[in-house]
Structure 1
Amino acid sequence: MVSSSKRTPLTFLVHATVLFLVVLWTIPTAGLFISSIRDKDQLSVSGWWTALSTSEQRLVVRAHEPKSQVQQGDRFVISGNLLEGGKGEIARFGFSSLKPENFAAGEVAEMKKGRTLQVNANGDYVLSSPTEWKGSRGQRIFYTAEIPPRFTLDNYREVLNAEGLGQSFINSLTVTIPATIIPILVAAFAAYALAWMRFPGRALLIAGVVGLLVVPLQMSLIPLLKSYNLIGEFFGVGSKTYVGIWLAHTGFGLPLAIYLLRNYISGLPGEIIESARVDGASDFDIFRKIILPLSFPALASFAIFQFLWVWNDLLIAMVFLGNNQEHLVLTGQLRELLGSRGGNWEILTASAFITIIIPLLVFFSLQRYLVRGLLAGSVK
């Protein structure tokens, strides 16, 4: 007899495959988080995997304005430092966009009218002229520097304070929480009825629920919106309300919820329910005191699916709530950032990571029930 402690090659292969999938799914999230806390200049020129290494950046800055010049002997001098915080090392520099790397650090570059520019490796620069500097803007200086890695929380501060993400965050919670709770409650009652109550047409209802699982959302969205608008006009209720999107998500989520919960509830021991009936318990008492406590794994597993689906939804939110700032959800706000701030990667990465914080918390808090709820009812 082979000892159960010995593992076959297939077991190691399964474990290795699972580990590979976990790493594969974790890498994008890690990359998104690292990008969200990187300096915006470094993020624009290198990938997140180079975050801990020194990066070469080609930058252009303006020297101090002419009003800061100081006369030293017969020359007028403007001086300062190009590197923020004095961190980094300059390799080459120039004063023209045609030749931005024409001089090595420490050299003296000859400019027009007897003027000179010297940029040292530590970022110190000296502009010298035999005549007084004129104008209101400083001389442009191009340089190539090796900049050490920099991390900052300014990206999150800018998003939370200036981009209206706080209101969108509240709007998403307002949509997601009821749109998760309502279908769970309705589906739990329906699943109990389909599992343990005998009535005509029960098999047809079960077949109908299974059939609704394959109906594409896009095919039913427009007829549903038209029906909702007609009902709203009849009762004098506006179409851009949270009630509409709650009902829409409830309708789209009910087939999966009923199917999942019915499989679980039908697999519960029938002796418990029959004993409760013998003791005089009604169906509502059985449902409330026996079915709900025993069905928590299935309820939690569906809650994860529904919460993630509603939280990440954009299509239904745009259709039922519109695009106004008052009702704009988090995914819609992120889309607006993509439209207006498409080049600001630091803003987009910080915004995207903020949107996944709540789903991650929900998943990790309920994930131990996920497999139990999905597998329940599959084996008798």
Structure 2
Amino acid sequence: MTSLARRTAPPASRTAPPASRTASFVSRVAAGAASGAVRVFLVLAGLFWLLPTIGLLVSSLRSSSDIAAGGWWQVFAAPARLTTENYAHLLANETITGSLVSTVLITVPATLLVLALGSFAGYAFAWLDFPGRDWWFLGVVALLVVPVQVALVPVSKLFGAVGLFETTLGVVLFHTAFGLPFAIFLLRNFFAEIPRELLEAARLDGAGEIRLFTRVVLPLGGPAIASLGIFQFLWVWNDMLIALIFADSQSPPITVALQQQVRQFGNNVDVLAPGAFVSMVVPLVVFFAFQRQFASGVMAGAVK
């Protein structure tokens, strides 16, 4: 009788009450609505974050008289008044074009030097044994809390004594010196999470330290290095304090050049608006071009 009852009993799914199926349907609908609401919120937040950039782009395409007449949102009433003449004036302004070249000559070397030196030092602190390694690393961590403003006067005197004041090389060295503590701290912690067995296997295959560093550590540390490169590039490109003090006044970076144009805002608005947009859009292009590596580096650091 028991076996017959089991065979004749209807499946549990068939006997499920309609109320449970309704509740499951309602929960799926609620989850879908919540997911849609989150997406809408993220899209709106992204548009709100890009609003200043959009406003600057529109302003760079308006004439001086239109800018003086009202805000950039008035372009929706007369979109045909947009013009590219401001960018023609920008290219004709030797101060702005020269400042862009100076900014590139400062930003690219300062970023590459920090990545190279930080990678070597991070590997050394993570996997090489040398006297006082932990104390040296503690000193590097302590340098993270030193503000830039503390070093302005003594470094200015030092650069003046050795002939590096108001030179591109001096600005590059300053950014490199103050970018290295964070770079070493970040990359050392990332490299230290590489499995020791992997490094020991490479050593058993005859790999020396240089080959081990270039063939094993660097490929595995690519996301962290890319994230560090983005941060360093943005910091140096958008810097104004160091450039204002140490850069050559005859060929200043873009931030200083735009600040000098602000003093004549009423006369040079047709140059200031497109110059500011170009100064803003370059870091955005760099970020979006390497956003996948940036996200990988951030997630890897979070998991580790």
TM-score, scaled to structure 2: 0.83
2:291 aligned with 1:367, yes or no? yes
Letter aligned with residue 95 of structure 2: G
Distance 2:58 2:245 in 1: 34
The secondary structure found in structure 1 opposite 2:81 is coil
On the 8 A contact 2:156/2:246 being kept in 1, the answer is yes
Identity of aligned residues (%): 40
Correspondence for 2:263: 339
Q: Deviations over 1:128-150 (max 9, x none)?
A: xxxxxxxxxxxxxxxxxxxx750
- State the Cα distance separating 1:354 from its structure 2 match: 1.6
Deviates more, 1:181-190 or 1:195-204: 195-204
Residue 11 to residue 218, structure 1, CA distance change in 2 (3 Å): farther
Task: Identify if the C-alpha distance between structure 1 residues 256 and 14 changes in structure 2 by more than 3 Å, giving closer, same or farther.
Answer: farther
Cα RMSD after superposing both structures: 2.4
What per-residue deviation string (whole Å, max 9, x for no partner) do you get for residues 56-78 of structure 1?
A: xxxxxxxxxxxxxxxxxxxxxxx
Question: How many pairs were matched up?
Answer: 278
- 1:18-52 CA-to-partner distances (Å, cap 9, x unmatched) read 33431221111011101110232222112111212
Report the counterpart of residue 315 of structure 1 in structure 2. 241
Distance 2:129 2:32 in 1: 48
- Matched with 1:82 is none
> Which aligned pairs between 1:347-366 and structure 2 lie closer than 5 A?
347-366=271-290
Q: Work out whether 1:280 is the aligned partner of 2:206.
A: yes
Q: Distance between the aligned counterparts of 1:18 and 1:198, measured in 2? A: 47
Query: In structure 1, what is the equivalent of residue 84 of structure 2?
Result: 153
1:251 is aligned, of 148, 168, 177, to: 177
Contact 1:35–1:346 (Cα < 8 Å) also in 2:
no
Shift in Å at residue 216 of structure 1? 1.2
Which structure has more strand as a fraction of its residues? Answer: 1
Q: State whether structure 2 residue 43 is matched by structure 1 residue 19.
A: yes
Q: C-alpha offsets along residues 181-202 of structure 1, whole Å, 9 cap, x if unaligned?
A: 0111000001001111223322
Return the alpha-carbon distance in structure 2 between the equivalents of residues 10 and 206 of structure 1.
47
- Cα deviation for residue 347 of structure 1 reads 2.7
Counterpart AA for 1:311: W
Asked which structure has the greater CA Rg, the reply is 1
Match of 1:223 in 2: 154
The answer on whether the counterparts of 1:267 and 1:376 sit within 8 Å (CA) in structure 2 is no
* Runs of at least 5 residues in structure 1 that lack an aligned partner in the other structure: 55-147
Counterpart for residue 56 of structure 2: 32
Distance 1:356 1:222 in 2: 30
Distance 1:321 1:227 in 2: 15
User: How many Å separate the matches in 2 of 1:357 and 1:21?
Assistant: 19
> Higher relative CO (CA 8 A, sep ≥ 6), structure 1 or 2?
2
Partner of 1:104: none
Provide the rounded CA distance (Å) in 2 between the counterparts of 1:346 and 1:278. 64
- Structure 1 counterpart SS, 2:239: coil
Quote the residue 2:300 is aligned against. Answer: 376
Q: How does 1:14-163 map to 2 (within 5 A)?
A: 15-54=39-78, 149-163=80-94
Show the counterpart of 1:126: none
In 1, distance between residues paired with 2:131 and 2:32?
A: 51
Stretch moving more, 252-261 or 179-188: 252-261
Structure 1 residues 15 and 222: alpha-carbon distance in aligned structure 2, compared to 1, 3 A threshold? farther
Deviates more, 1:312-321 or 1:25-34: 312-321
Query: Which position in structure 1 is the counterpart of 2:12?
Result: none
